[in-house]
Structure formats: structure tokens, C-alpha cells
Structure 1
Amino acid sequence: MVNTKIIILLTSDVHGNIYPINYGNNEQAHVGLAKVAALMEQERKKNKHVIMIDNGDLIQGTPLTYHYVNFLAEKKNPMIKCLNMLQYDAAVVGNHEFNYGLNVLKNAVFESKFPWLCANIVDSRTDEPFLGKPYIIKKIGAFKLAIVGITTHYIPNWENPNHIEGLRFKDALSSAKEWVAKIKEEEKPDIVIISYHGGFERDIQTGEPTEVLTGENQGYSICREIDDLDVLLTGHQHRSLTGSLFGTEIIQASNNGQMVGKVTLILNEKGEVLEKSSELLSVAVAEEKKEIIEIAMEYENSTQKWLDTPIGFIDGDMIVDDPFAIRLEDSSLIEFINKVQMEAANVKIANTALFNNESPGFKSNVTMRDIVSNYIYPNTLKVLALKAEDIKAALEQTAKYFTLNEQGEPSVNPSFMYPKPQHYNYDMWEGIEYILDISKPIGKRVVKLLFEGKPLEENKVYEVVMNNYRAGGGGNYLMFQNKPVVREVQFDMAELIANYIMERKTVAATCDHNWKVIW
């Protein structure tokens, strides 16, 4: 009896990383497609039957992709050039694929030598999959493998409405059920694989919810409710995950090209699965592939030149020495970003986050590298009409970020660290005065809340500017959902920050200490 071994290689949430560097300081890092390529080449040499899938969030996320879209858009997309060279079999649409607008996404799809899959995002007029390809069939010898693409349907809660105009986002779980049933009946595949740009809403071992069950992640339900599903490829949460769930082999391959996911299937002559296994291959052991380095060199050189462009000067201290300390009391860096938002939107109240613990702050001589290292997302701004109860509820949500450790000192609530770090979901406000007492129970931590020296009025409407992700309720800020949008600022925040500094040439670091955390 001759068995057949099939290897599925997975990348997910690569987020524009080609080169093995950290753009904030240009130091070497174990990330990117150049290193991924070396691992994939090794696997192809060892195995006859290899299928390569990218699971979404490919074309956005680094200064290279930002610079490409804004300054080199007449050229071909560098991320697509890399995947074409690597001969990927398919890609799935991720939520960040929409960040630069539909034209950029459609051009990327047009340039791809592989199909893009998405069964549950449809044209609102025709109800047909908007990219035309809900799934593909791969034939390996006598066997048929069906690969279905599914994308988290929660995108309208985050994305700029102009970027998803004319699209309808169907429930991922329901769509997965519908398409798997249809494919089984019509195609009669030996193997069924779902590549889902989404993650797991419950603990894999216990089944307990690990997040508010909004529908953003439905991987657990997909495995539980779809019979005879062989493999579920996942992403979105940036987790490093392998295993089996309700008989389905599952995998998630981290982010930024740090890992390649590998699923191994052993089939007998009848097409029955004898063995299934999954593992993660770290790019830390790989040398970057020269051909990938060279294919994107023109883009990289132009990006590096742009990143070192002088913008202006900071008079004072906006350096991040301790990111945790910045979240405990007002700082000149956060106040500055909020001021940029307030001026751009012409309002008196704003909120923002220190998006991750790698944010360096601004040194005295500011370059574009500093700006994109601190404001890492291509966010635009929205002004919402909020009442006092909305603002207080938002502050209570943000106060959940903290817990007290055994020594009675503040630390990060595990719910903001698992399944992935979510520092970007802790907001700091300007234009109001507030105190958060984190020794008090969750939901009762706002002990001071003033606007212009007075308590907020119950029935008064306050205009508040925030990024489009938060304005849609992203990060469990459900109190912002469906609130009236007073106006939008359709400029990327990195551009707004750069223009703010360039207009003034020198910006003074100021801090009015309008808020703090106590315990």
C-alpha cells in the first residue's frame, strides 16, 4: 500500500514584512518573507506535494507598504511580487487588506499569479463573492483537496466605510457551513481545508470564552459545528498555535513572517486520512533568500530614504523610556498626539493609545521613521457625538487594562495580553480631567471626570475625536458603536502628525497632567 504525504505551508499576518529588519531602528529582526522563502524552499526540496497559502493581512503593516501605496503606486505591489516568485497557491483576504482602499486591494489581486479566496464577503448588488473565488480545488495525484477562504466578518466595525463601499460581510461561521456543504456535494473532495482570517473565541482546551463573543473570531465554533473538516488554518490573533480541535487539525502561524505553519497529511490509497499533524517553523534559523531581497530592493531603498527625511524638531522630552509608566499618567508624547487629532478635527476632546511597547517616542530631530514607528496604523479620524455616560463607559473599559499583582502594584490585565498583546486598546484622553482608581472593582474605577473644570452634564453632547478603529467599537468599546458621526478627517494620522510638525518646524513638549491612575 502506497501512502501519499501532503504538506500545507501557511503564512498569516505578514503585515508588509519582506526584509528581516525593525524599521524603527533598522536593526536585524527574525521576520519577513525573505526568511520565510528560505524555509519554504527547504520544505519543497524535501517533499513532493506542497501547497502554499497566505491567510491574510499581507499588503499592509510596514513603512515599505505605506510608502509604496503613497509614493510608488504606479509600480507593482512588492508583496505580490514576492508571493508570485514563491509560487503561492492561494491567498485569503484579511481585514487589513482594506486599509488602503479597494483600488489597492483589487490591483494586488489583479497582479497576483494565484487566486485570492473569500467566500463570505460579497458584492451587495449581486450577492456573489466580491473577488469571484470562494474556494479552489487542488489535485494531487488522484486526490482532490478543497480550500475555502473565509474572512472575519467584523470588518465594518473597524474599516473606513469608503474602503468597503458596495460590499456585504456575511457571518463567517454560517458561510463556512454553507460553502463546505456545497463543495462536498458538488466537488466530492477527499480533503476539506478552511483558511480563515480569524482566530479562536474560546480556550482550545476548556472551551471557555477568551473574549467578548462579538463574532470577530469564530474558529472554535467552526471546528465544533462543521463535521469532517480536516484542517482549519487561522490567523488574525497573531498567535503561535498548533493542535487538534474536534478532530480538525488547527494552526496559527504568529505574525510578521516570524513563523511558517506546516500541516502534514498522510492519505492512503482510498484518500482516507491516516495521520494529521501540525508544527511551526521559526525563521530565526533561516538565512534570507537573496532573490526576495533583490526583488523588493528598489522599494526598500526608496522607503529608507523617505524614512530618514527630516521633518522638524521637538523642544523637550517625548521619549518613551517606560511604556507602562506612560499608561499610568499623562505624558507629553500622548498629549502631543491627542493635540494633533484635536486640531485636525477642530474639537476639544480626544483619545489615543500607545499602540505597542516598542513605540520609541520622538527624539529631538524628528524624521518620518520616528512618525511611522510611533503611529503604526494607517488610521483616519472620526468625530463622534457622545454623552457623559458614553465617555464614562469608555473610561471604565480602558481601566480594565490594569490589575493589581500580589504586591499590590499595577500590572497588565491578562485579558489584554492573551491571546495577543492589546496595548492598543488602552486609551488616554486629552480635553477632560479624570482619575482611574484601579484598586476599585472593574466598572467602578472612574473616580473623577470633569470637562473644563466641571462635571460632565448628563444630557449634553460632547464631540470627541478618535481613530476610525476605535470609533467603530474596536477593542470592545461597544459604547461607540452606532453613535452619530459629526465629521471625518480622511487623512492618514502619520500624514497629519508629519504636517503638524512641518508647519511649526519646532514643537514644544507639554504636559498638563489632566489624568492619572491611582491605586
Structure 2
Amino acid sequence: MTSSGEQVSLTILYTSDVHGNVLPLRYADNQPMDLGLAKIATLIQDFRHRSENVLLIDNGDVIQGTPLTYHHARITPDLPNPIVQVMNELTYDAAVFGNHEFNYGSQILQRVVHESKFPWLSANIVKTGTDIPYFGTPYLVRALKSGVRVAVLGLTTQYIPNWENPAHIEEMDFLDAVDTCQRWVAKIRRESGPDVMVVAYHGGFERDLDTGQLTERYTGENQGYRLCSEVKGIDVLLTGHQHRALSGTVCGVTVIQPGCNAAWLGKVDVLLERTGKKWNIVSTSAELVDVAGTAPDPKVVEVIRPYEEQTQVWLDQPIGRILGDMTVKDPMALRLRDNPLIEFVNKVQMETAGVSISNAALFDNQCPGFPEDVTVRDVVANYIYPNTLRILRVKGQDIKDALERSAAYFAPYDGSDIQVNPAFTAPKPQHYNYDMWEGIEYKINISRPLGARVVELLYEGQPLDMEADYDVVMNNYRAAGGGDYEMYKGKPVVQDIPTEVPELIVSYIMERKIIPATVNHNWEVIHDEKSFT
């Protein structure tokens, strides 16, 4: 029997936005990296040896994001999911659905849920037209050996329908996370009486944690600050989605977010003291534990080994040759003028869709471009998302508005070094939200104010008609308005092309074998009417 005044410590360990990273390597070149669940596993085992009261939670975006997960989903889907096998080995207590859990379709996701030896949580993903959780398990309550009761409520960013293929989320509604949290926390507190109330939310913060000032246009994608300030009864808020590394306190709630790719393990310590029959929280503290210098867990390495071996063989299959230069030497320079790599991606999109206008992005500054001899590894190293294509019918004005949105990627030019607008780097890098176009001719002057930077815009040599209709192919994320491209929302969909773009690129190269690196110089970024040369 526990005596009054006795103290108990609870440790909550959690991962978020792992994106399929298990082994500590970069698939583009197999170079070692300080990341991955294999390293996280070593930290988890260490903390479990220190305390008997440990909960392990994943906060979403775990089953998608690397060639390993892509190979499984598209080449060997009948095998058990490799990420779930690792999570089962680590005996996770629960996981929360992130937006990227839906990327591979409902059949893959249902198998993931079935194979998991732990529950998947989300209270605000419900059956269409109801408030019944679609996956059946909105929360869990665990009683520790000490008698302390811990509740964990799962929530998912409600913005998923703005990005995801509609076929992947059929018969689902995504309710407001704040409203849902208020209902469920009150219900859990009333019916289960937990001593610690944890909310695991696959979403981030829309406001500065210290000042409360809005840091992004409010869409409902990230509602972490509102959860802390408006929902009574939350002790700990686990967040994600934004790929930020942060910890602290907001409105009396302990908050944490562990970056991405399993480079950090999130850790929250809760100290409780018993008074009579009640446990009271004495203190909470949050910490990000860096995996740098940690050895990978050999058991996890062994679990993933057969999947990894198949993936590596697949990645190194030669598929064609590039005549010319499609490498990325300077990401900023690539974004200042037409270039062979993005022109090629746009060409694949236009030929696939049968339209004459396309846009595409360099997703990340680590994208290396294509070497002379191209393998599958090179394709997935550059096109890192499982996007599909969509053809939208838009007005000329929509195209101009979209170009102005992309032009905002550049900070006002002062005559020295070109800088990225902080809105595209914080709270997380958003290089993928700068699009480059084929099929139109345009110039962007970054010496001019935001919203007035497009100084030339032509189609087939004539000024683009602002009232005319144009069919444009783009990825499904952008077509849904992702990245604050509001002008695309509600526009007629001419065609959905369900094949993922990396697969389209691989097929295109394999069919042609030899790919010329071409540049037609249809666009450039200038300053004060001068080129950056």
C-alpha cells in the first residue's frame, strides 16, 4: 500500500515525423546520418532500464518517407510492414495517425493498423456524418505499477483533406482538433479519472510559444497553441507535423516536438506525489534527446535487414543516361532561372497529362539532381514525396496569383546576397512551396514588393489572358491548395492521374534510355530589370 506523500516518476518517450527512417543513413548516397529508429531504440532501452514507469508513443508520419517504405508499399506490399515490425519490436504503447499515414492508400493503412501490436489513436478522424472515431480507438488509459493512471488522447491535423487523394480518405471526416479535444478531455477526466492527461497531436503551433503572436496564416492545420490556451485539463501536449525541435510550457501545459527523421527522442518526465488516495502532479519537464553518437540497436537492425537488402538492390538498378548536366550544385541558383532538372520533371508531367503547362518544385536543398547514369536511387533522392498528378482548369489570373505566391519565396532584394523569405524557412523549411513553370514565359523581379513581382507573363508569345481557361498539371498537394496556394481551391479537376510521380519518372527514363538535358530559358528571376548572372 502506497503511503501518503510518496512520490512516483513517469517518463513519456515519444517519436514524431520519423518518415520511415530506421537505419542511420541517407539513401541518396548511403552516407551515415545521425537519425533513425535504430538509434532511437538504444535510447529507449536505456531509459527503460532507469525507470519502470515508461510510456512510448509515436505521434504520426512514421510509415512513409524513405525508399524503404516506398519499396514496401509499391513492390512488396504483401509482406508485413517493416516500420510496424520495428515498432512492435520496441513495444510502443500507442501511435497517432499523421497526414502521411494516408499517402499509400486505405488498404495499406488498414494492414498497418491490423499488424500493429499497439493501438492507433485519433479522436477527430470520424466516420462521415458522425462523431464516431473511424478507427475505433480515440484514447487509451494505462495504470502503472504504482497505481498512477495515465490517459493519452490522439488527435490529427484536420487539414488532411486539403492535401490527400480523396480516394485514400473515403468515408472519413476530419473534425476540428480543438473542439474534439475539449469534448474528449472532459469525458476522459469525468469517466476515467486519470492522474496525468496527455494529448498527442499530429499538428504544430500556429503562434509563437512565448508571445502568442500568430506565426502563420490561420487555417486550422496547426492548432497547438489553441489546445493549450482553450482546452482545460491537459497536462502534457505532444506535437509534431512542423518538424520543429522544441520544448517548453504554454499556458501551463508542458509541450514538446522532436524534429523529424528520428534525429531526436522526445522525453517528458512527470513527478507525482500521493496525498491520501489521490496522485497530484508535482512537476513536469520536457527534453529533446539527440541521437548523435548513439549506436544503433542490433535487434532493430536485424528486424529491418531483409527489407533493407531488397530496397538497396532495387535502388541501384540502372534505368538510363543523361546527356548533359542535371546535377544540383547550388539550390538557390537553380531557383533563379530555368534549369534542366526542373524542366525535365515538368516535361514528364506534361507528357503524362497531355497538357502544355506544368509546375514543379525542388523539394529540398539536399536534392542532388541526376548524375550521368541514373538509378532508381537518384529518382527517389530527388522526388522525395509520393505525390500523384492532377490537371486543374484555371484562369490566367490564377496562374499569375500562383506565380506571385512563389515569388514570395525571396526576401526583398537589397542588392547584396539573395535571401529566402523567413516565411518559407520557419517554423520549418518549405522549399517545396516554390514552383517553377514550363509552358509559359515569365519574369519575377524580387526588387519589387510582394504581390507585384511578376513583371512579364506570356503564353505562346502573347500576354497571358487573365480571363481565359488553361489546363495545368501539378502534384496533388499543390492542386489541393497546399502551401497557401489558395487560388487552386475549388477549381475544376480535369483529370486525376493516380500513378505516383517517382514511378512516372522512372518509367519515362526506362522507356527512352537516353535523356537530353534541355533548357528553353522560359523564365528567370531578376532584380531592377537585370538578370542574376
Counterpart position of 2:433: 425
Matched, 1:399 2:403: no
Counterpart position of 1:516: 524
Counterpart position of 2:531: none
Following TM superposition, by how much is the alpha carbon of 1:229 offset from its aligned partner in structure 2, in angstroms? Answer: 1.1
Counterpart position of 1:281: 289
3-state DSSP of counterpart to 1:395 = helix
Superimposed CA distance per residue, residues 76-116 of structure 1 (whole angstroms, 9 cap, x where no aligned partner): 00100001010110000000000000111110010000000
Matched, 1:57 2:65: no
Matched, 1:22 2:26: yes
Letter in 2 for 1:381: L
3-state DSSP of counterpart to 1:403 = coil
Letter in 1 for 2:255: I
1:100 to 97, 104, 122: 104
Counterpart position of 2:328: 320
Matched, 1:129 2:137: no
1:500 to 494, 497, 508: 508
Counterpart position of 1:272: 280
Tell me, yes or no, if the aligned pair for 2:129 and 2:173 is still in contact at 8 Å: no
Following TM superposition, by how much is the alpha carbon of 1:50 offset from its aligned partner in structure 2, in angstroms? Answer: 0.3
Letter in 1 for 2:465: E
2:423 to 393, 415, 420: 415
Following TM superposition, by how much is the alpha carbon of 1:228 offset from its aligned partner in structure 2, in angstroms? Answer: 2.8
How far, CA to CA, are the matches of 1:480 and 1:65 in structure 2? 30
2:160 to 155, 175, 191: 155
Superimposed CA distance per residue, residues 195-252 of structure 1 (whole angstroms, 9 cap, x where no aligned partner): 0000000111111111110110000000000123100000000000000000000000
How far, CA to CA, are the matches of 1:14 and 1:405 in structure 2? 36
> Which blocks of at least 5 consecutive residues in structure 1 are unaligned?
none
Tell me, yes or no, if the aligned pair for 2:120 and 2:137 is still in contact at 8 Å: yes
Q: 1:209-288 alignment to 2 at 5 Å?
A: 209-269=214-274, 270-288=278-296
How far, CA to CA, are the matches of 2:55 and 2:400 in structure 1? 50
Counterpart position of 2:530: none
Following TM superposition, by how much is the alpha carbon of 1:409 offset from its aligned partner in structure 2, in angstroms? Answer: 3.1
How far, CA to CA, are the matches of 1:432 and 1:157 in structure 2? 26
Following TM superposition, by how much is the alpha carbon of 1:441 offset from its aligned partner in structure 2, in angstroms? Answer: 0.5
Matched, 1:472 2:477: no
Superimposed CA distance per residue, residues 151-172 of structure 1 (whole angstroms, 9 cap, x where no aligned partner): 0010000001111111111111
Counterpart position of 1:456: 464
How far, CA to CA, are the matches of 1:381 and 1:173 in structure 2? 32
Letter in 2 for 1:18: V
Superimposed CA distance per residue, residues 473-500 of structure 1 (whole angstroms, 9 cap, x where no aligned partner): 0000011111110101110100100111
How far, CA to CA, are the matches of 1:369 and 1:252 in structure 2? 30
Following TM superposition, by how much is the alpha carbon of 1:407 offset from its aligned partner in structure 2, in angstroms? Answer: 4.9
Counterpart position of 2:192: 187
Following TM superposition, by how much is the alpha carbon of 1:457 offset from its aligned partner in structure 2, in angstroms? Answer: 1.3
Tell me, yes or no, if the aligned pair for 2:412 and 2:448 is still in contact at 8 Å: no
Counterpart position of 1:299: 307
Following TM superposition, by how much is the alpha carbon of 1:413 offset from its aligned partner in structure 2, in angstroms? Answer: 0.7
Letter in 2 for 1:44: R
Following TM superposition, by how much is the alpha carbon of 1:184 offset from its aligned partner in structure 2, in angstroms? Answer: 1.3
Following TM superposition, by how much is the alpha carbon of 1:404 offset from its aligned partner in structure 2, in angstroms? Answer: 3.7
Alignment TM-score, normalising by the size of structure 2: 0.96
How far, CA to CA, are the matches of 1:284 and 1:185 in structure 2? 42
Matched, 1:34 2:42: no
Superimposed CA distance per residue, residues 29-60 of structure 1 (whole angstroms, 9 cap, x where no aligned partner): 01111000000011001112000000000100
How far, CA to CA, are the matches of 1:98 and 1:259 in structure 2? 24
1:206 to 198, 208, 211: 211
Tell me, yes or no, if the aligned pair for 2:151 and 2:197 is still in contact at 8 Å: yes
Superimposed CA distance per residue, residues 278-324 of structure 1 (whole angstroms, 9 cap, x where no aligned partner): 00001112100000000011100000000000110110110000011
Q: 1:305-384 alignment to 2 at 5 Å?
A: 305-384=313-392
3-state DSSP of counterpart to 1:410 = coil
How far, CA to CA, are the matches of 2:174 and 2:410 in structure 1? 34
Letter in 2 for 1:515: W
Counterpart position of 1:388: 396
Superimposed CA distance per residue, residues 267-287 of structure 1 (whole angstroms, 9 cap, x where no aligned partner): 001311111100000111210
How far, CA to CA, are the matches of 2:417 and 2:434 in structure 1? 18
How far, CA to CA, are the matches of 2:67 and 2:231 in structure 1? 40
Equivalences, count = 519
Following TM superposition, by how much is the alpha carbon of 1:459 offset from its aligned partner in structure 2, in angstroms? Answer: 2.2
Following TM superposition, by how much is the alpha carbon of 1:125 offset from its aligned partner in structure 2, in angstroms? Answer: 5.6
How far, CA to CA, are the matches of 1:91 and 1:479 in structure 2? 35
Counterpart position of 1:70: 74
How far, CA to CA, are the matches of 2:457 and 2:414 in structure 1? 29
How far, CA to CA, are the matches of 1:393 and 1:52 in structure 2? 45
Tell me, yes or no, if the aligned pair for 2:481 and 2:487 is still in contact at 8 Å: yes
How far, CA to CA, are the matches of 2:176 and 2:130 in structure 1? 17
How far, CA to CA, are the matches of 2:147 and 2:295 in structure 1? 36
3-state DSSP of counterpart to 2:411 = strand
Q: 1:467 to 1:221 in 2, by over 3 A?
A: same
Task: Report which stretch shifted further, 423-432 or 177-186.
Answer: 177-186
1:13 to 10, 13, 17: 17
3-state DSSP of counterpart to 2:190 = helix
How far, CA to CA, are the matches of 1:145 and 1:424 in structure 2? 39
Counterpart position of 2:51: 47
Following TM superposition, by how much is the alpha carbon of 1:127 offset from its aligned partner in structure 2, in angstroms? Answer: 3.7
How far, CA to CA, are the matches of 2:204 and 2:413 in structure 1? 29
How far, CA to CA, are the matches of 1:511 and 1:250 in structure 2? 48
Tell me, yes or no, if the aligned pair for 2:397 and 2:467 is still in contact at 8 Å: no
Following TM superposition, by how much is the alpha carbon of 1:186 offset from its aligned partner in structure 2, in angstroms? Answer: 1.3
Tell me, yes or no, if the aligned pair for 2:439 and 2:459 is still in contact at 8 Å: yes
Letter in 2 for 1:137: V
How far, CA to CA, are the matches of 1:345 and 1:208 in structure 2? 43
3-state DSSP of counterpart to 1:179 = helix
How far, CA to CA, are the matches of 2:396 and 2:280 in structure 1? 61
3-state DSSP of counterpart to 1:264 = strand
Alignment TM-score, normalising by the size of structure 1: 0.99
3-state DSSP of counterpart to 1:412 = coil
How far, CA to CA, are the matches of 1:71 and 1:491 in structure 2? 14
How far, CA to CA, are the matches of 2:57 and 2:139 in structure 1? 12
How far, CA to CA, are the matches of 1:288 and 1:130 in structure 2? 36
Letter in 1 for 2:177: A
How far, CA to CA, are the matches of 1:494 and 1:383 in structure 2? 17
Letter in 1 for 2:336: L
Following TM superposition, by how much is the alpha carbon of 1:142 offset from its aligned partner in structure 2, in angstroms? Answer: 2.0
How far, CA to CA, are the matches of 1:173 and 1:253 in structure 2? 22
Counterpart position of 2:85: 81
Letter in 2 for 1:363: P
Tell me, yes or no, if the aligned pair for 2:185 and 2:233 is still in contact at 8 Å: no
How far, CA to CA, are the matches of 2:75 and 2:457 in structure 1? 44
Letter in 2 for 1:337: V
Report percent identity of matched pairs. 53
Following TM superposition, by how much is the alpha carbon of 1:126 offset from its aligned partner in structure 2, in angstroms? Answer: 4.9
